[in-house]
């Protein structure tokens, strides 16, 4: 896995979440523009990692996922939908001829409501995922 692949991990996860949740925009950051509604933000974050011998990248990474919806109920339902991905192993095509795997390992804080600015309330969660290029 080269440096570009490591940078693509976030994009691969975003591509997959887009395919699961259709009524939200999924992106790496949100804008403070009031019209930017129904957004899921996926950002890689830090955490304890494990590196195996002869692997050139950590086995898993941590991703913060924020769900900004129209209502608490919609955020709750979307957060639960994402939480149900735990244990799944997905193979996804990315770019040309690239195949990636995503294994959703653990799911933390699924219902932490956080206030991000005066208008926005989000459900914030952290996923421990293996996002790995397999070919």
- Report the interface residues with another protein, using CB under 8 A: 1-2, 55, 59, 87, 89, 91, 99, 101, 103, 130, 132-135
Closest approach, Cβ 29 to another protein, in A, equals 28
Cβ of residue 99: shortest distance to another protein, in angstroms?
4
Query: Least distance (Å) from another protein to the CB of residue 26?
Result: 23
Between the CA of residue 7 and those of 17, 33, 36, what are the distances in Å? Answer: 17, 26, 25
Angle, vertex CA 42, rays to CA 51 and CA 37, nearest 5: 175
Residue 21 vs residues 58, 82, 133: alpha-carbon distances, Å: 27, 9, 23
Question: Minimum Å distance from CB 118 to another protein?
Answer: 43
**Residue located via tokens 């890689």:** 44
The residue (of 9 and 122) whose beta carbon lies closer to another protein is 9
Q: Between residues 48 and 71, which has the closer beta carbon with respect to another protein? A: 48
The pairing of strands 121-133 and 98-115 is antiparallel
Distance CA 32, CA 68 (A): 12
For another protein, the closer of residues 27 and 58 by Cβ is 58
Cβ proximity to another protein, 80 vs 134, nearer residue = 134
């Amino acid at each position: 896995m080269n440096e570009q692949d490591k940078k693509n991990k976030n994009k691969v996860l975003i591509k997959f979440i887009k395919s699961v949740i259709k009524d939200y925009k999924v992106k790496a950051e949100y804008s403070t523009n009031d019209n930017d509604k129904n957004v899921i933000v996926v950002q890689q974050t830090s955490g304890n990692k494990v590196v195996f011998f002869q692997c050139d990248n950590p086995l898993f990474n941590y991703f913060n996922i924020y769900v900004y919806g129209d209502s608490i109920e919609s955020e709750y339902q979307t957060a639960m939908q994402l939480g149900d991905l735990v244990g799944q192993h997905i193979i996804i095509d990315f770019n040309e001829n690239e195949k990636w795997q995503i294994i959703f390992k653990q799911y933390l804080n699924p219902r932490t409501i956080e206030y991000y600015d005066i208008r926005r309330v989000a459900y914030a969660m952290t996923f421990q995922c293996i996002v790995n290029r397999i070919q």
